[in-house]
Amino acid sequence: MHGRGLNIILGVYVALIFTFVFAPIFFSLVFSFNSQRFPTIPLGEFSTEWYAKILSDPDIWQAVRNSVIVSTTTAILATTLGFCTAYTDFRYNFRFKGPYLALILLPPTIPLIIMALAMLAWLSRLGLSGQLWSIIMAHSVLTAPFAMAIIRLRLHQMDPDLEAAAWNLGGTEWQAMRHVIVPFCMPAIISSLCLTAAVSFDEFAVAWFVSGLNKTVPIVILEIVQGNIDPQVNAIGTFVFLTSISLVVAAQVIFISRQIKSHS
Amino acid sequence: MTEPLVTFRNVEKRFGDFVAVRNMVLDIHEGEFLAIMGSSGCGKTTTLRMLAGLEAPTAGEIRMAGRLMNDVKPHERDTPLVWQSLALFPFLTARENVEFGLKMRGVGAAERKRRALDWLDRMQIADFAERNVATLSGGQKQRVALARSLVMEPKMLLLDEPLSALDANLVIRMQGVLTKLQKELGITFVYVTHSQSEAFAMADRVVIMSQGDIAQVGSPKDIYRTPANRFVAEFVGRNNILSGKVLGGDAKGMQIATPQGTFTAQTPQTPLAPGQSVSFAVSADLLTLSETEPDTVNKAQATLISEEFIGSLVTLFLEGADGMEFKVQMQERALMDLDLSPGATLWLGWDAASASILSEG
Amino acid sequence: MSTKHKIDLYALTWRLPIILWQLIFFVGPVVFMIAISFFVVKNYRMTEAFEFVNWQRMLTRGYFWDSYWYTLFIASLSAAIAMMLAFPAAWALAFRASENLRRGAVFLLIIPFFTSYLVRTFSWYVILAESGVLNAMLGYVGLGPFKMLNTHFGTVVGYLTLTLPLAVILQTVTMANIDKTLVEAARNLGCKPLATIWRVVLPLSKTGFVVTALFCFILAFGDFVAPFYLGGSQEPTLPILILDTTKSGQQWPRAAVVAIMMMLTLFAVAFTAIMLAYRKPKVAR
């Protein structure tokens, strides 16, 4: 009973959990190639109608452009901020370090809808709302902690003598940063760029509130969904999934392969 | 003697309440192989880090060739360090590692490469120049680390327990490499270690540190034969330490009454008054052992407890009067004609010159 | 020494950016949101003031409290369901799976975390619809159709989309870190499998589990997509209240009141949970 039988039951259960988690992703993909307007089983004919529709929609192209701008800029900003903070945490000890770290790590614990309202009110007050920049600023706050965590993890694996060795060989602090710390952290930096881009690419609550008329891809989805059932969403969704999944997989492969390498 | 290369004058280093190095006075001379030895936390590594500029002294002065170095940044110094962890840059090849310092100093690429390959060749690892350092063996990494420091052509090389990660037989090989290198280059080596055998095998002079203080400075032989104090006597080798009171004495020797008998020891530099408590050390290999009463100045009877063989070297443990444990070290051959059954009573003997008085503290 | 007090330009370069950025774009917004809860709206324009009118208006309204208790209830319920559904899977991955299988599973479960929640919700909408995939499949075995959209069930399915992968990951990691010899020791001493889970595994993973449940609660509590699209916002949750108040009525101050109430509730729940997680167990006997 405790051996094989239990293992089979547990295996089936785990498979069910994974089915639940991946069913929406799977069906979104399937329905994006399905001709029915109200998709169900049995499936309709194979069709690329919805893809043709979104590809010919200039609004969607504009949203894609916006999303690419927002997520790449966010990724660069958040990774820079995360790197600075991770390095500070690695290298220095100072009096208010606890609050300092809390300042960067806190935002993800606050529900997005609250951040969205707060950002909207504040950015309007500063006259900064309703632009792509508004989304970028908000997203960088939300994603910097991820960047910080990934890069901090990498620095944790570094021999602490490495930086001092660079000074010892005649490098200034800046040279040591450029020739030792940054190269060592490079896999984490690339992972962080991918992951923060993925998060920013998918985020809709804050973006929707502060973006004004500048729509990103998730905002377009939100608006289509609000109207009625439209399988265009599945086509866009498939494209969105592919983008984020490739970013996440790239991030993990780069980071994990480096970790394995540095341990061998 | 010429002016020392480095002078420590009343140097102190504190970390909060902890005093890592206390009132250090030390000269390091050009071309010598100096070992700084002690157990962990004694201040040896802190001393080395101060030489490299990685720690600034809290008080006192460190001068190099007359220049005050207290606040000179690490990168403005010419004191390359071979790290205990080696601290090779894992994302660079062996050659790029060796070139690193030259690159920092602004040496051109062609020149860098030539000098790096030259040193890798000298360290007999030229074949591995383009390999990633992570793929090299422990001994090869060691040589890359040495080349990386020596390519800078320093006047002084700092080494922080560089052999601690190696296998025992490789350690002996690397000791040979290091002493030969130091003689050839004629530069100063400052070598920090907790290993007595490393320090005594390689160094011209040994500094023994204990809890932030220098316990003794001297040649390995001086330290071995005449430990300055109880700490050194216990730390270095197998010493028999006897304690008692001064009866009197002259320039030839001091008479000391101990529970094991009255003995004569070498007269120390600072005179001792009768009645004063005192200890002296006799190295285990300077004791003689016989079945009949010897004709040495000092003698005592003791019962054999046990023996310990390390190759052809034997250490005998005996119990003297008052439960005092004596250690005698000798070649196995010399024991042939003695009755060594446990419980046998034997005579110990030693010269006055073999017994050196330890200063307190 | 004077050098100690000299400004270290290098250190500041790395330390300052995040302080400035977070002050302007994180602390600023949150503090300002608290401030506007005391502002007043006249003729669709917000004017600076210090009045409790918004607080009074929201906290004395029945619909606010209905929404408040409903949100608390449905978020707690879905956190509890997520924890229970995740447990057997996490237990299997932690104790029965090989190291590689576990890594692979966790890796797969991370993926949805970074993919569009919105699209997944829409996909559920299609699956759960009256004539959707699930009802069609149930129809083949002669069941249904069931009404699943615009119900509490729909809302919970939406929440689980968000929280279940996280619950499985965190529970697996927590239990994989338990010292296996303790579990084996319990079995060796004659403890039955279920009793081992109850008396050894759960007590040892208490901290991790409480934190996991807390995360599930926070995610569900703050989500507006699931109750809106799958629950049909029959009973609006607090996030929907914020959304409606902000988007339609320009009543930012009132939305701020709701948001602050949500944050206070989250703090209280998080504080209680963390106290619970780190409380020393009472010594038996």
pLDDT for C39-55, tens place per residue? 988 877 788 888 888 89
Helix (H, G, I), strand (E, B) or coil at B141: helix
What gap in Å lies between CA B60 and CA B43, rounded to an integer? 16
> Per-residue pLDDT averaged across A186-207, rounded?
93
What residues in B contact C3, CB-CB < 8 Å? Answer: 71
Q: How far is CA B44 from CA B49, B79, B86, B219, in A?
A: 9, 16, 18, 17
> Per-residue pLDDT averaged across A168-176, rounded?
96
Q: How far is CA B351 from the centre of its chain?
A: 27
Please report whether residue C232 resides in a domain: yes
pTM: 0.86
What gap in Å lies between CA B267 and CA B255, rounded to an integer? 9
What gap in Å lies between CA B133 and CA B96, rounded to an integer? 10
Structure tokens at A258: 């480096």
Helix (H, G, I), strand (E, B) or coil at C109: helix
Residues comprising chain A, all counted: 264
Closest CA to B49 of B162, B214, B192: B192
> Per-residue pLDDT averaged across B153-167, rounded?
91
pLDDT at A263: 44
Q: How far is CA B190 from the centre of its chain?
A: 11
What stretch of H or E contains B189?
strand B188-193
> Architecture of domain A50-263 in CATH?
Orthogonal Bundle (1.10)
Please report whether residue C33 resides in a domain: no
What gap in Å lies between CA B10 and CA B3, rounded to an integer? 18
Contact map slice: C 185-204 vs A, CB within 8 A: 193
Contact: A117, C242; criterion CB under 8 Å:
yes
Dump pLDDT digits (tens) for A60-69: 999 999 999 9
Helix (H, G, I), strand (E, B) or coil at C76: helix
Contact: C127, A81; criterion CB under 8 Å:
no
B81-82/B156-160 β-pairing: parallel
pLDDT at B230: 86
Dump pLDDT digits (tens) for B299-330: 998 998 888 887 778 888 899 888 888 988 88
Nearest CA in chain A to C85: A17
The band of B18, judged by pLDDT with boundaries at 50, 70 and 90, is: very high
pLDDT at B1: 54
What stretch of H or E contains B207?
strand B205-210
Contact map slice: B 132-191 vs C, CB within 8 A: none
- B87 Rama sector, left if φ>0, alpha if ψ -120 to 50, beta otherwise: left
Q: How far is CA B178 from the centre of its chain?
A: 15
pLDDT at A256: 65
Rounded to the nearest angstrom, the minimum Cα separation between A55 and chain C is 18
Contact: A38, C131; criterion CB under 8 Å:
yes
What residues in A contact C111, CB-CB < 8 Å? Answer: 245, 248-249
User: Is C248 touching A (CB cutoff 8 A)?
Assistant: no
Q: Chain A interface, mutation test: which of B48, B54, B75, B192, most A Cβ atoms within 10 Å?
A: B75
> What ipTM was assigned to the predicted interfaces of this complex?
0.89
pLDDT at A208: 92
pLDDT at C253: 92
Point out the least confidently predicted range of A44-53, A111-120, B201-210. A44-53
Helix (H, G, I), strand (E, B) or coil at B305: strand
Query: Which domain covers residue C162, as residue numbers?
Result: 62-278
Contact: A39, C29; criterion CB under 8 Å:
no
Count of C-beta atoms within a 10 Å radius of residue A183: 15
Specify whether the CB–CB gap between C199 and C182 falls below 8 A.
no
What gap in Å lies between CA C196 and CA C189, rounded to an integer? 10
- The full DSSP string for chain A is -TTHHHHHHHHHHHHHHHHHHHHHHHHHHHHHTB--SS--SSP--B--HHHHHHHT-HHHHHHHHHHHHHHHHHHHHHHHHHHHHHHHHHH---TTHHHHHHHHHSGGGS-HHHHHHHHHHHHHHHT-TTSHHHHHHHHHHHHHHHHHHHHHHHHHTS-THHHHHHHHTT--HHHHIIIIIHHHHHHHHHHHHHHHHHHHHH--HHHHHH-TT---HHHHHHHHHHH---THHHHHHHHHHHHHHHHHHHHHHHHHHHHHHHH-
What gap in Å lies between CA B124 and CA B191, rounded to an integer? 22
- B312 Rama sector, left if φ>0, alpha if ψ -120 to 50, beta otherwise: alpha
Q: Which residue has the higher pLDDT, C147 or A140?
A: A140
What gap in Å lies between CA C226 and CA C239, rounded to an integer? 11
Structure tokens at C124: 């559920």
What gap in Å lies between CA C202 and CA C209, rounded to an integer? 8
Ordered per-residue pLDDT tens for chain C, 285 residues: 334 556 789 999 999 999 999 999 999 999 999 999 999 888 777 888 888 888 998 888 888 999 999 999 999 999 999 999 999 999 999 988 888 899 899 988 988 888 888 889 988 988 998 888 888 888 888 887 888 888 899 999 999 999 999 999 999 999 988 888 888 888 888 888 788 888 888 888 888 999 999 999 999 999 999 999 898 877 889 999 999 888 776 789 999 999 999 999 999 999 999 888 887 655 544
What residues in A contact B52, CB-CB < 8 Å? Answer: 168
- The full DSSP string for C125-147 is HHHHSTTSHHHHHHHHTT-----
pLDDT at B143: 94
- Structural domains counted in chain C: 1
What gap in Å lies between CA B42 and CA B184, rounded to an integer? 31
Rounded to the nearest angstrom, the minimum Cα separation between C102 and chain B is 28
pLDDT at C284: 47
User: Is B76 touching C (CB cutoff 8 A)?
Assistant: no
Rounded to the nearest angstrom, the minimum Cα separation between C1 and chain B is 9
Helix (H, G, I), strand (E, B) or coil at C173: helix
Please report whether residue C217 resides in a domain: yes
pLDDT for residue A148 is more than 90? yes
Point out the least confidently predicted range of A28-37, A223-232, B270-279, C194-203. A223-232
> Per-residue pLDDT averaged across A99-121, rounded?
92
pLDDT at A199: 92
Chains that touch C (3 or more CB pairs under 8 A): A, B
Q: Which residue has the higher pLDDT, C213 or B261?
A: C213
Structure tokens at A211: 């973006």
What gap in Å lies between CA B185 and CA B150, rounded to an integer? 10
The band of A1, judged by pLDDT with boundaries at 50, 70 and 90, is: very low
Dump pLDDT digits (tens) for B289-299: 888 888 888 99
pLDDT at C281: 59
List the CATH number of the domain containing C216.
1.10.3720.10
pLDDT for residue A38 is more than 80? no
Q: Which residues of C133-169 are buried (b: 16+ CB within 10 A; e: fewer)?
A: bbbbeeeeeeeeeeebbbbbebbbbbbbbbbbbbbbb
Contact: C252, A121; criterion CB under 8 Å:
yes
Point out the least confidently predicted range of A157-166, B140-149, C2-11. C2-11
Average pLDDT of chain B to the nearest whole number: 90
Rounded to the nearest angstrom, the minimum Cα separation between B54 and chain C is 15
User: Is C75 touching A (CB cutoff 8 A)?
Assistant: no
Residues comprising chain C, all counted: 285
Q: If you average pLDDT over each of A236-250, B208-222, B334-348, which comes out highest?
A: B208-222
User: Is C264 touching A (CB cutoff 8 A)?
Assistant: no
Residue-range domain boundaries for chain A? 50-263
